[in-house]
């Protein structure tokens, strides 16, 4: 209760899991023109060579005073089954 009123709170956690053999290698490339930071993932092969894929953006949130990796995870809230 807060101030005599019942509040229902949902708490949860998540886990970041790297499913491959290689490191999770993310690199940010900032553009001062667009004021964005694109995120590229390096995906390595067994010889050590890699290819880069654009996997999203880092976005600065001034109210939190840090960057978020937009679209890194998705969450869904489902109703309880009968």
- Domain spans of the chain, in order of start: 25-70
Residues 61 and 67: beta-carbon distance below 8 Å: yes
What's the burial of 32, exposed, middle or buried (CB within 10 Å: 0-12/13-18/19+)? exposed
pLDDT on residue 82? 65
Residues 37 and 28: beta-carbon distance below 8 Å: yes
Q: What is the pTM of this model?
A: 0.63
Which residues have CB under 8 Å from 24's CB, separation 6+?
16, 18, 41
Determine the average pLDDT of the residues in 46-74: 87
What's the burial of 39, exposed, middle or buried (CB within 10 Å: 0-12/13-18/19+)? buried
Q: Which of 19-23, 25-29, 41-45, 48-52 has the lowest mean pLDDT?
A: 19-23
């Amino acid at each position: 209760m807060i101030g005599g009123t019942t509040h229902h709170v949902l708490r949860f956690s998540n886990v970041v899991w790297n499913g491959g053999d290689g490191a999770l290698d993310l690199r940010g490339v900032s553009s001062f023109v667009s004021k964005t930071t694109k995120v590229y993932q390096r995906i390595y092969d067994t010889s050590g060579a890699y290819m880069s894929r654009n996997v999203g953006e880092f976005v600065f949130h001034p109210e939190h005073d840090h960057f978020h990796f937009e679209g890194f995870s998705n969450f869904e809230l489902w109703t309880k089954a009968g």
